[in-house]
Structure 1
Amino acid sequence: MIKNYLKVAWRNLFRNKSQSFINIAGLSVGLACGLLILLWVQNEYSVDSFFQNSGRLFKIYKTNFDHRVPSGSYEVPGVLADELKRSFPDIEYATNFGFGETSTFQAGNKVVKMKGNSAGADFFKMFSYRLLAGSAQAALNSPDAIAISRNMAEIFYGSPDKAIGKAIKYQNQKNFKITAVFENLPKNASQSFDFLTNWDAFLQNNPWARDMGNTGPTAYVLLRPQANAAAVNAKIAHFFDLYYHINRSTANSYSNIALQPYAEAYLHSDLANGKPGGGRIEYVHLFSIIAVFILLIACINFMNLSTARSVKRAKEVGVRKVAGALRGSLIWQFITESLFITLLAAVIALVLVPLLLPEFNQITQKQLSLPFAQPGFWLTIAGITLVTGLIAGSYPALFLSAFKPIKVLKSAVKLDTGTLFFRKGLVVFQFVLSVILVTSTIIVSRQMNYLASRNLGYDRENVVYLPIEGELSARYQIFKQELLKRPGILSVSRLSSPPVNIYGSTSAVDWVGHDSTSNVLITRAAIGYDYFKTMKLTLLAGREFSSAYPSDSSGYILNETALKLTGYKDPIGKPFRYMRKQGTIVGIVKDFHFHSLHEAVGPMVLVAGENDPAGVVLVRIQPGKTKEALAAMENLSKALNPAFPPVISFVDEQYQQLYQSEQVINQLAHIFALLAIFISCLGLLGLAMFTAEQRVREIGIRKVLGASISSLFSLLSVEFITLIGISVAIALPVAWYGTSGWLQSFAYRTSLPWWIFALSGLLIVSIALLTISLQLIKVALLNPVKSLRGE
């Protein structure tokens, strides 16, 4: 029986070549898209899910209540992990984690920059990264301990075994002893580092992090096996109250801390309302829906074309029923045909996906591959193929098998009103999905363009920075003066951290009238002379720091948001204290962004940092002189700081990195929206071809009676345009609602004017017209004599 079904399916495949091509093309593209998205979604869910004690491993997050309004952050004090472990027996291990750094290491004659971080002695007891040499107990157990990756060990020593116990010079200043070598981090790890230094070393270099009032690092805890996470959450929630002396009944500002499962933190990192909510999980859900949308569009093509061509197969059904075929066997025949076509499409999709994966990986910045060796993969493919084939073939099978043999053998079959309405409804639904995808893509692109063009309060174009390390710290003034003599260099200054993402806050602030029970966090940045000139900031009052004012060592410049907190009306010269250092306000700067536009501008205080030992050198370059300026910076850096290879970063490029996820989503949305339109238009083309074929004689008669080409085209196209118009009317409000919710994740977002939706609708209508016009015009131009003869 199955063999006969397959024979019939094969014959029908070649009998209706155009319909078969459209169905197979649509389904293969839809399945290929679904597979690509499935690989990406599986990879996203696999991130950080491989740790042995994943169920007991948590990330600490903080909920700040400012006048009872919650906001969230992962920034915590640099001593919080140890304090929690000491105070709560249910916490077995705990570690703080630093900001990430690119540092210069030297062993023998090799000098290489590596990316790494700092962590506590418990780190490898909590995170089950594989150790190739050393032990979790001994790794990071002293201030001079360092753990390095296999990659780093092979670069400097040739192998992990040869590296263990060796000394390696850090930043040309300190020798660390290699106490452990870990396997290169897996691809599905959210953390990224080639080395880890001990947390005590971090605190020595960053003494501010010892204060419980200062925040910046992150923290993780591992609960004991018998501990209850909910109970621990309740115990630690008000931990900060003891240190800040907070009375919650009267205080306007205070903070809670809580546990978030570490395996969930990667996908649920949005703390906008004080608790983990959205984040990358929203994009995972979005593209899962898009995959379903695209497959549905392809299935609808199959349903529509099969139903439309039911007239051609009506007599076949009638003859089979007269010969004794039961409806059940006919249903299975048509389902088999659908599954056969879907199977062919799946095979083509499995050929397409490996061809598309390199480009897809480049866009998503992942290393995905088809796991052909895994049985689960083939079961998934089989399941998707089966479900797609059943969905695509179910309605045509039920519809075709229901024909009455006497009726279909005596006269031509006419589709009833219900069937025609259902078919039109499928077209509308199909294009509703396409319009939603296209409109959403346009709005996402508009938001990305908005982020790229928004005034940040400083000019990020033509500004580069170089880390201050080694001899450059002591020779900064020489470097600056010599650099200003070189062509293409407009100004030079310095900053305590890269300008696009400045973190590190404290509540240890005070001013006249300050509520000492509040827990307001203010971000600090140390700046050099000419910082305003280099970054093109706007000074609203007072002055910037200058060598002409020795008292600037205790001076402060506040941004507008910080000024509002103080309540000062005439702030210049007013007292202000930051981290127990009393001083006066010397200037007010117009608010500028120092985080991504997902966050509103927070309060910031700038302090004089011309002689700070670390940070970055900021250089503004003359437009058109980039090549010469970079060469001057590299040559001068090598001359003054030979032990440290210069690494120069562009501020505008680093700014774009803040929106890496959104840029990936933008590119993927473009691609999948185009593919959805392509599949929809394939189906529309098939329906247009069938409609034209069915109305050839009618067109001939109308031409004989004097109908013009334009009137015939209007006659043939009006039904399609009406359906597309209905689709647009339904889809645009849905698209507006969905994209408005997405835009809420940005503190600063583009507007949604009416013309965006009008443009989207016009674009879809134009594409639909273009798709059907060639086929309809071809029929309208036919010689009426041939049309009436049926030639």
Structure 2
Amino acid sequence: MIRNYIKIAFRNLWKDRTFTALNIIGLTTAFGIAFLLSMYALFELSYDRFHENIGSIYKVYTDEQTAKGTESSETNPIPFADALREEVPGVDKISRYVTGGTLLTYDGETFQVTSAGVDPEYFDIFSFPIVEGNKTNPISEKLSIVISRKVATAIFGKEMPIGKTVMVQSEGENVPVGISAVFENIPAASSMDVDVIVNIKNLPDSFYKNNLNNWSAHNHAVYMKLANGISPAQFEKSTKDFSALHYAENIANAKRDGAQADAKGNFRQIKLLPVEDQSFVVIKDGLLSVNKTLQYIVLGIAFLILFIASVNFINMSLAKSAQRLREIGMRKTLGAGKSQLFIQFWGESVIVFIVAVVLGGFLAFTLLKPFQTLFNTSASFSSISNPLIVFGAILCVLLITLIAGGYPAFMMSRMDTLQALKAKLKVNGNNRLRNVLMVVQFSIAIILISGTIVLWQQLDYLRNKDLGFNKEQVISFPINTKQDPNNVLQLLRNEFSTDPNILSVSAADNNFGLGRDGSRMRSVLGFDYKNRQVSTHLISVDYDYAETLDIELLEGRSFNRKYASDSLSVMINEAMVKELGEENPLNANLFLGDSIKYSVIGIVKNFNFESLSRGVQPLTLFMDGESPMGYVYVKVVPNNLADTYAGVRKVWNKIEPDTEFLGSFLDENIDRTLKRERHMTTMISSGSILAIILSCIGLFAISLLVVSQRRKEIGIRKVVGASVSTITVLLTKDFLKLVGIAFLIATPIAWYATSKWLENYVYRIDLNLWIFLAAGVMALIIAVLTISFRTIQAALKNPVESLKTE
């Protein structure tokens, strides 16, 4: 019996092979793209979830009440972690964590690696297993490090690395250290991607020992594992006395400056962020929040694509079912029961879906490598192989096939046999369902098109926004060297001084945007100024900084080699002038965290030195001749940028031949910070195109059926004198009404969704009605072109052929 059902199903599918092919093509494409998008979203959402104790691991951050409102901070002072463990109950394990880049040298070869300074309990908190060496306490010895399996292979090949000595570059000196252990390579879905781990106590004195009792210098993250039975809310509540004790001066200053306590009466609240959420942290208006919008939008697009393809399948199945009335009547005459008719229709739907799922999986497999490259992701089929996901997908397939095949079979099996044999059926109900589904289809398509237009405009706006500095002609690169960075900087100046393509050279302790080394740094200092607390971002710079970056000087002067006193001078931006509240800021003197007085010598125009997700913050530029500069800035002539870049790289390789040159133009660095926006724009654009294509496939198939059903009417109208245009309008107007209704439904939804999304940006475009009108017109034109192809063809046919076939 089952064999017979299958044989008849294949026969019927082959008989209507045009519609079968359209269904399979649409569903295959939808499944293939949905697989890829789901892989990406679920992989992103799986970040850091591989740790065994994930449910009890948290990152510690602080909400501080200030005169300007609540501000969040993820960094902490050196004594914070030990004091928290001793004074607040509920801490099981705790570790400080700070990352940076360093150089390892072995046997004359240099390797650039990412390092992390941590406490010994770090390996008890996180699941980074030790595979070789000291598994009990791998970073207990002063001059020892732990390296990843990847780095061990790169440096030592097949040799045993345990006990070997490498040279580590630290503050311009090479220090010999031993390798005590090797840890397993960190999984791709980890926010902690480091190659080398050291004890934080062994970091340079300027970072660690000099700040052992300093509660003002915040320079690292803190992670902790809560003790069993302690909830985050309980722990946060128990830290109130801790904050009151160690931050008494900060709280007193906040009250003095007019800060208001939070809803619980606190001026400073220690909070816990689940580690599984730390990859999705954003800072908006100074407050920390978790934003998974991109991942859920991608999942939503995958669902909508499948929904549109399924709607096509259901619509075509409902429309075709009316043409099989005689078959149903004959089957009922020969004794077929309702269940047999139901199984027959449902089985055909299941076969189409199974074929589409298999072909969709093959399509996803074929496109996986290019997809991973385009979106820089390690997502794979394992991301969607979760039993719960597979079970949910099977339920969806069963539901859709039941609607597409089971519903018409159920309705028609209840018909009178004689009525079925006459092939007479009132299809108004089916048409209503079809029309509703088509309106939903095109509403989704218009929403996606509108979203794509808004996203492209916002991305283009951010890319081309005037940031207040020259990003097109400036190359930046890290001074990742075994030599003294300041000596290397001077050597670079000497080499570049004879190159006519180099206009100026400067340096600073941080980069703009995101360079090729992937490093980011921010330094914020709070201090008292005229009996009130102010805060400022700090950037340590070299001479010619403003000139190299074309930062506009509004008042005063820039740092100058003629003035020895410039080591005790600062330049500030307009936002810092506002923070100080001075009418004549050039007369201001600042005490930046110590008793040394710094004089303001210049005011620069506001420029975006941070991410574009934040507004321009108060900034102080100062010169520190002792601290090494981290990045070089080279301003070049606008002509022959590629050749000039190659020349800069050649000079670097001459001075530091063992270290890779990681230079890039500043506009490239800024563009890297917009990775999230680029990915979202590409995915929604792709989803919009696919949604339109799938909607057109469904529209085209329905138009074929409508033309077929009204073939006699078309012939009669032509006989009595109707023109081709009249017949075309007659056949298309009903479909165009559906697109119009879809536009009216979709526009307010798209307006609301895009306006809410734009609120995440300090700098954003203004929404205009034409954006949504353009989306509606695009959908309308595409629908007209799709329908007209078949309707014009039908209207041009000889009416005699239509009437003879009846």
CA–CA distance in 2 between the matches of 1:110 and 1:384? Answer: 57
Report SS of the residue matched to 2:584: coil
1:624 corresponds to which of 624, 635, 639:
639
Deviation at 1:59, TM superposition (A): 0.7
CA–CA distance in 2 between the matches of 1:710 and 1:772? Answer: 13
Q: Is 1:463–1:651's contact at 8 Å kept on the other side of the alignment? A: yes
Superposition map of 1:169-180 within 5 A: 169-170=168-169, 173-180=174-181
Q: Deviations over 1:598-655 (max 9, x none)?
A: 1222221111246642321110121233344334333333444455443323322222
**Which residue is 1:63 aligned to?**
63
Q: Is 1:472–1:637's contact at 8 Å kept on the other side of the alignment? A: no
Aligned-residue identity in percent: 30
Deviation at 1:295, TM superposition (A): 1.5
Q: Is 2:326–2:423's contact at 8 Å kept on the other side of the alignment? A: no
**Which residue is 2:408 aligned to?**
396
Pick closer, same or farther for the CA change 1:238–1:705 going to 2, 3 Å. farther
Q: Is 1:471–1:640's contact at 8 Å kept on the other side of the alignment? A: no
Deviation at 1:378, TM superposition (A): 6.3
2:354 corresponds to which of 343, 360, 371:
343
Pick closer, same or farther for the CA change 1:745–1:393 going to 2, 3 Å. farther
Deviation at 1:357, TM superposition (A): 0.9
1:568 corresponds to which of 551, 563, 582:
582
Task: Structure 2 unaligned segments of length 5 or more: list them.
Answer: 260-266, 515-519
Q: Deviations over 1:303-360 (max 9, x none)?
A: 2112222331122222333444343432333222211211111121122111111122
TM-score, normalisation: structure 1? 0.93
Question: Is 1:732–2:747 an aligned residue pair?
Answer: yes
Deviation at 1:384, TM superposition (A): 4.7
Aligned AA (2:532)? D
Report SS of the residue matched to 2:18: helix
**Which residue is 2:365 aligned to?**
354
CA–CA distance in 2 between the matches of 1:573 and 1:296? Answer: 66
Q: Deviations over 1:703-727 (max 9, x none)?
A: 2222222222111111111111111
Report SS of the residue matched to 1:115: strand
Q: Is 1:28–1:345's contact at 8 Å kept on the other side of the alignment? A: yes
2:456 corresponds to which of 445, 465, 484:
445
Pick closer, same or farther for the CA change 1:752–1:143 going to 2, 3 Å. farther
**Which residue is 2:314 aligned to?**
303
Q: Is 2:80–2:215's contact at 8 Å kept on the other side of the alignment? A: yes
1:578 corresponds to which of 575, 586, 592:
592
CA–CA distance in 2 between the matches of 1:558 and 1:489? Answer: 27
2:226 corresponds to which of 223, 227, 243:
223
**Which residue is 2:92 aligned to?**
92
**Which residue is 1:140 aligned to?**
139
**Which residue is 1:753 aligned to?**
768
Q: Deviations over 1:126-166 (max 9, x none)?
A: 21201122335533335533221111112222247334452
Q: Which moved more, 1:64-73 or 1:734-743?
A: 64-73
Aligned AA (2:736)? I
Report SS of the residue matched to 2:24: helix
Report SS of the residue matched to 1:403: coil
Aligned AA (2:615)? A
Q: Which moved more, 1:199-208 or 1:531-540?
A: 199-208
CA–CA distance in 2 between the matches of 1:498 and 1:287? Answer: 31
Superposition map of 1:473-512 within 5 A: 473-500=486-513, 503-512=521-530
Report SS of the residue matched to 1:94: strand
**Which residue is 1:51 aligned to?**
51
Pick closer, same or farther for the CA change 1:83–1:535 going to 2, 3 Å. farther
Q: Which moved more, 1:469-478 or 1:354-363?
A: 469-478
Q: Which moved more, 1:129-138 or 1:205-214?
A: 205-214
Pick closer, same or farther for the CA change 1:250–1:515 going to 2, 3 Å. closer
Deviation at 1:276, TM superposition (A): 5.6
Q: Deviations over 1:265-298 (max 9, x none)?
A: 224x13437766442x222222222222112111
Q: Deviations over 1:148-188 (max 9, x none)?
A: 11111122222473344523332652222222211111122
Pick closer, same or farther for the CA change 1:588–1:160 going to 2, 3 Å. farther
Pick closer, same or farther for the CA change 1:445–1:393 going to 2, 3 Å. farther
CA–CA distance in 1 between the matches of 2:438 and 2:303? Answer: 16
CA–CA distance in 2 between the matches of 1:492 and 1:351? Answer: 53
CA–CA distance in 1 between the matches of 2:159 and 2:123? Answer: 17
Aligned AA (1:152)? V
Q: Which moved more, 1:253-262 or 1:387-396?
A: 387-396
Q: Is 2:167–2:174's contact at 8 Å kept on the other side of the alignment? A: no
Aligned AA (1:28)? T
Q: Matched residue pairs, number?
A: 783
Q: Is 1:215–1:504's contact at 8 Å kept on the other side of the alignment? A: no
Q: Deviations over 1:344-381 (max 9, x none)?
A: 11121122111111122112322333359979486566
CA–CA distance in 1 between the matches of 2:746 and 2:391? Answer: 35
Q: Is 2:567–2:625's contact at 8 Å kept on the other side of the alignment? A: no
Question: Is 1:243–2:247 an aligned residue pair?
Answer: yes
Task: Structure 1 unaligned segments of length 5 or more: list them.
Answer: none
Deviation at 1:681, TM superposition (A): 0.8
Aligned AA (1:386)? L
**Which residue is 1:191 aligned to?**
192
Deviation at 1:553, TM superposition (A): 1.3
Superposition map of 1:37-48 within 5 A: 37-48=37-48
Aligned AA (1:586)? I
CA–CA distance in 2 between the matches of 1:428 and 1:699? Answer: 26
Q: Which stretches of structure 1, 4 residues or longer, exceed 6 Å deviation after superposition?
A: 372-375
CA–CA distance in 2 between the matches of 1:315 and 1:460? Answer: 72
**Which residue is 1:26 aligned to?**
26
Q: Is 2:42–2:384's contact at 8 Å kept on the other side of the alignment? A: no
CA–CA distance in 2 between the matches of 1:739 and 1:596? Answer: 21
**Which residue is 1:779 aligned to?**
794
Q: Which moved more, 1:394-403 or 1:667-676?
A: 394-403
Deviation at 1:483, TM superposition (A): 0.7
CA–CA distance in 2 between the matches of 1:433 and 1:125? Answer: 48
1:252 corresponds to which of 250, 258, 261:
258
CA–CA distance in 2 between the matches of 1:641 and 1:284? Answer: 42
Deviation at 1:107, TM superposition (A): 0.7
Question: Is 1:206–2:224 an aligned residue pair?
Answer: no
TM-score, normalisation: structure 2? 0.91
**Which residue is 2:125 aligned to?**
126
Deviation at 1:531, TM superposition (A): 1.0
Q: Which moved more, 1:240-249 or 1:548-557?
A: 240-249
**Which residue is 2:263 aligned to?**
none
CA–CA distance in 1 between the matches of 2:288 and 2:417? Answer: 62
Report SS of the residue matched to 1:100: strand
Pick closer, same or farther for the CA change 1:424–1:634 going to 2, 3 Å. closer
Deviation at 1:108, TM superposition (A): 1.0
Report SS of the residue matched to 2:558: coil
Q: Is 2:277–2:290's contact at 8 Å kept on the other side of the alignment? A: no
Report SS of the residue matched to 1:162: coil
CA–CA distance in 1 between the matches of 2:497 and 2:236? Answer: 55
CA–CA distance in 1 between the matches of 2:344 and 2:79? Answer: 70
Deviation at 1:189, TM superposition (A): 1.3
Deviation at 1:507, TM superposition (A): 4.1
Pick closer, same or farther for the CA change 1:142–1:272 going to 2, 3 Å. farther
Deviation at 1:383, TM superposition (A): 4.3
Q: Which moved more, 1:378-387 or 1:129-138?
A: 378-387
CA–CA distance in 2 between the matches of 1:495 and 1:293? Answer: 48
Pick closer, same or farther for the CA change 1:205–1:659 going to 2, 3 Å. farther
1:370 corresponds to which of 381, 387, 391:
381
CA–CA distance in 1 between the matches of 2:235 and 2:526? Answer: 28
Q: Deviations over 1:57-86 (max 9, x none)?
A: 111122233336334342333443333223
CA–CA distance in 2 between the matches of 1:768 and 1:342? Answer: 26
**Which residue is 1:515 aligned to?**
532
Pick closer, same or farther for the CA change 1:663–1:163 going to 2, 3 Å. farther
Report SS of the residue matched to 2:763: coil
2:299 corresponds to which of 275, 285, 288:
288
